[in-house]
Amino acid sequence: MRDSYTRFIEQLERISAKMARAFERAMADVLNEVRFSDLMDAIERGDIEQAFRVLRMDQAAFAPVLDELEAAFVEGGETVIDTAPIRTVRGLGVRFDGRHDRAIEWMRNRGARLVDEMGQQAQRVIADTVADGLESNRGVRTVALDLVGTKGGGNSRRGGLLGLHTIQAGAVRNARRELREGNFSAYLRRERRDRSFDRSIAKAAREGTQLAASDIDKLTRRYSERLLKLRSENVARTETIGALNAGRYEAAAQMVYSGRLPESAVSFVWQSTPSRRTRDTHRAMNGQKIRFGEAFTSPSMARLRFPGDASLGAPASEIVNCRCGARTEVNWLSLAV
């Protein structure tokens, strides 16, 4: 089977969609299981760390996401073996070991990094939201609801700020401020707003009236829900890219380090997405070819073993929302019997 970019994109779309749903489920469980009275107590004391502990956003909470991360890694590795000519590998026992110590270490480190990043973002969102609540004279209960959302159908919480990136949470707070202060033109420029309310907002703007507090709450919570969906998609795409490409790299590493292939028999070719949204640096890297053990070099001078790789210090600006792949080229005739 040919290792095509089309196949890579199919894997990316399929797995990242599953991971995005897993992320949404994980956050829903975190928010639905929160002890609301304990959260209010922590907010009232201004204890941000305790407020975060109440949420229990630990590795167990993100287990559904980490399961999809592992599945992506393994599928990436198996893809490399699938591309081998059947006559070349038949009977030689060439297979991908998703439980190899190196594979397990990658998945453990990547998972821990993801959970740590989510925790850091959550603590900043809590701190910023509590500070904004004090400045705006919003009560403790209201601030807590801003964080975890309100209960709706199925008794599940929706529309909270937790789970969002700090920039997104700030956008929700700014949207609330715009609606409260009557700066409707600014709000109507927000791409992820609930457009079903646009007519009512335009009417309030024409008549110079204010929106009811309940309407402002509804609008900002809808906006937050949509940003959380975007957040889940961004996280899933970033993590899936990294896992698929890491699995491909690990498959080559297993063959090289086991002595089945010489390093010179393996190379990787950077494949950037033909899209206007592709980073200029990644577009410039399209077709860049390296041998096993080398690293791709971005025009920014960032070094990556594969798209989505942060192990060599590549910054988030070279990783987040990347859709690039690295085609693995193997001289299968070099395979040692």
> What pLDDT is recorded for position 82?
87
Whether residue 329 lies inside any domain: the answer is no
Whether residue 117 lies inside any domain: the answer is yes
Distance CA 29, CA 27 (A): 5
- Write the Ramachandran bin of 261: left for phi over 0, alpha for psi from -120 to 50, otherwise beta: beta
How many domains, the chain?
Answer: 1
Question: Is the pLDDT at 257 greater than 70, yes or no?
Answer: yes
Whether residue 138 lies inside any domain: the answer is yes
> What pLDDT is recorded for position 3?
60
Question: Is the pLDDT at 84 greater than 90, yes or no?
Answer: no
Q: What is the gyration radius of the CA atoms in the chain, in angstroms?
A: 24
Whether residue 81 lies inside any domain: the answer is yes
Distance of alpha carbon 221 from its chain centroid, rounded?
21
Q: Which of the 8 DSSP states describes residue 218?
A: H
Closest CA to 237 of 268, 275, 269: 275
Whether residue 298 lies inside any domain: the answer is no
**Residue 191: exposure state from Cβ atoms within 10 A (0-12, 13-18, ≥19):** exposed
Whether residue 155 lies inside any domain: the answer is yes
> Which pair of structure tokens corresponds to residue 276?
């206007």
- Residues sharing a CB contact under 8 Å with residue 77, sequence separation 6 or more, in sequence order: 96, 98, 103, 247, 248, 250, 251, 254
213-257 and 101-135 are packed helices; what angle lies between their axes, rounded to 10 degrees?
160
Closest CA to 311 of 67, 90, 109, 18: 109
pLDDT, tens digit (0-9, with 9 covering 90-100), for 32-77: 999 999 999 999 999 999 999 999 999 999 999 999 999 999 999 9
Whether residue 323 lies inside any domain: the answer is no
Q: What is the pTM of this model?
A: 0.92
pLDDT, tens digit (0-9, with 9 covering 90-100), for 161-211: 999 999 999 999 999 999 999 999 999 999 999 999 999 999 999 999 999
| Average pLDDT in the chain | 94
Whether residue 318 lies inside any domain: the answer is no
Mean pLDDT of 293-303: 98
Strands in 289-291's sheet, in edge-to-edge order, are 289-291, 266-271, 325-330
Question: Is the pLDDT at 87 greater than 70, yes or no?
Answer: no
Question: Is the pLDDT at 145 greater than 90, yes or no?
Answer: yes
CA-based angle 131:235:176, to the nearest 5?
35
Structural domain span for residue 143: 5-260
CA contacts within 13 A on the Cβ side of 306? 26
Closest CA to 147 of 120, 129, 165, 124: 129
> Which pair of structure tokens corresponds to residue 86?
């059947």
